[in-house]
Amino acid sequence: MAKTKTSYFCQSCGYESPKWLGKCPSCNQWNTFVEEIIEKPNNSIPDWKPAASTSLQRANKAVEVGSIKVEEEHRYVTPDQEFNRVLGGGIVDGSLILIGGEPGIGKSTLMLQLALNMPQLRVLYVSGEESEKQIKMRAERLAPQPPKGGAVVPPSGGRGVFILTETSTQNIFKQIEHLEPDLVVVDSIQTLYSAHIESTPGSVSQVRECTAELLRFAKESSTPVILIGHITKDGMIAGPKILEHMVDTVLQFEGDRHHVYRILRAIKNRFGSAAELGIYEMLGAGLREVSNPSEILLSQRDEPLSGVTISATLEGMRPMLIETQALVSPSPYGTPQRSATGFDTKRMNMLLAVLEKRCGFKLGAKDVFLNITGGIRVEDPAIDLGLAAAIISSHEDIPIPVKTCFAGEIGLSGEIRAVNRVEQRIAEAQKLGFERIFISKYNLPSARQDKQRLDLSRFTIEIVPVAGIDEVFGLLFG
């Protein structure tokens, strides 16, 4: 019998070492090495026959860039428009997609709902966590309601969804070879194990080996594969970091358990923009697409309230109006508190310093709390102006008119800087019935030095150009 071979792997980045190390030389993390048994038998992974039309058939020799023929990539357009937007237009042939999220956030629900609503494809749903009966119960809940007296039938279209409860990759590949599916969904990658590696499922070596086998299958057969992954307590996808480098697309499914809204965010995407965002609403019958997120992120109120403003932001190519709230109160303990939900705390401290230095507001002894409603996190600097207006509104206890919104970045000298794609922000505000929007005067056509000219004459909303933050407060509070 061959001697068992062991090796040490870093749980953070997947670095392999023949002996235990206290500090990983790759990612500089301490105490992350674990011992695992590795022994690869002689049996090989099945050879997949590449599709005739795939662009992967090329000679193994160096070719000049100009002589490479590029064909338009084929995409499966799903009925889920939010999913299509995040992926960049649909699922690309031969792509490997990894979707991660907290337990119970709805990853399995999203993937099963996607599979049930694609009758034109033969989908293989591989589950290593649930039984066939559990998946059947969820499928009945997600399926469209039948007429009275009828049975619940998922929209199979003659090429239905096939469920496989298996964790061995060798058995999974046998079923794939038999069914020849158009799409494979694996729930989840941490439950799979390969006979080529003698270690427990979920270990660094098993996750890496199983992903490598699925990657080889996807590229050689031009079959898209979607992997569902667990995340750690730090919010990172479990397994080695190399897992995210191996796949083509990394999606993060996130949301607050106390809110019904879920956000699908692209972290990495080789076939589209990595800044896109999809919003869903969690209902009893599954996830519903939210086509107009501005309507759900704005509270339906008629009376003006102090400390509440509306800001125009962009997520990818999608403009959204969000409600920003601020509360400023005297600090009872001597040490003022600074807390922000959905916004960077360091940037909030910068805005407070600008307001105190450039505008003369004494906020050093005040508690300041910021909140972005809807449970989303915003990193767009264009909401600076709206947040500053909300802070001063709460500090002076003067409400801001309901039909007023803001789009501008604040600099350290108190100037209002121009933001990109301001026309889309203005159009979104006008569509939702706002009467006035504050923007930087440097966004106006007369202030732009490049050839691109903004056509602001087509808008009926009142556009208020401002140069400094003191000018904004003079127009708002007198």
Asked which of 283-297, 364-378, 404-418 is least confident by mean pLDDT, the reply is 283-297
Which residue, among 241, 246, 245, has the nearest Cα to 231 in the 3D structure?
A: 241
Predicted confidence at residue 125, as pLDDT, reads 95
Are 76 and 183 a contacting pair, CB within 8 Å? Answer: yes
Asked which of 195-204, 217-226, 315-324, 393-402 is least confident by mean pLDDT, the reply is 195-204
- Distance CA(340)–CA(103), nearest Å, equals 25
Which residue, among 371, 376, 375, has the nearest Cα to 386 in the 3D structure?
A: 371
- Distance CA(472)–CA(478), nearest Å, equals 9
Whole-prediction pTM = 0.74
Are 403 and 337 a contacting pair, CB within 8 Å? Answer: no
pLDDT for residue 304 is more than 80: yes
Can you say how many angstroms the Cα of residue 50 is from the centroid of all Cα atoms in its chain? 31
Residue positions in the annotated binding site?
101-108
Which residue, among 83, 74, 146, has the nearest Cα to 115 in the 3D structure?
A: 83
Digit-coded pLDDT (tens) for 203-235:
888 888 899 999 999 999 999 999 998 887 666
Predicted confidence at residue 148, as pLDDT, reads 40
Digit-coded pLDDT (tens) for 122-148:
999 999 989 999 998 888 888 554 444
Are 204 and 10 a contacting pair, CB within 8 Å? Answer: yes
Digit-coded pLDDT (tens) for 238-257:
666 778 888 999 999 988 76
Using pLDDT thresholds of 50, 70 and 90, give the confidence band for residue 156: very low
Digit-coded pLDDT (tens) for 412-459:
999 999 999 899 999 999 988 899 999 999 988 765 554 455 667 778
Predicted confidence at residue 47, as pLDDT, reads 55
Structure token pair of residue 58: 């090329």
3-state SS assignment for residue 280 = strand
Taking the alpha carbons of 59, 63, 67, 70 in that order, is the dihedral positive or negative? positive
411 exposed, middle or buried (CB, 10 Å; 0-12, 13-18, 19+)?
middle
65-83 core/surface letters (b: 16 or more CB in 10 A; e: else): eeeeeeeeeebbebebebb
460 exposed, middle or buried (CB, 10 Å; 0-12, 13-18, 19+)?
exposed
Residue positions in the annotated binding site for ATP?
101-108
Predicted confidence at residue 234, as pLDDT, reads 67
Can you say how many angstroms the Cα of residue 261 is from the centroid of all Cα atoms in its chain? 13
Q: What is the mean pLDDT of the chain?
A: 84
Q: What is the mean pLDDT of residues 144-157?
A: 43
Helix and strand element counts for the chain (H, E): 11, 23
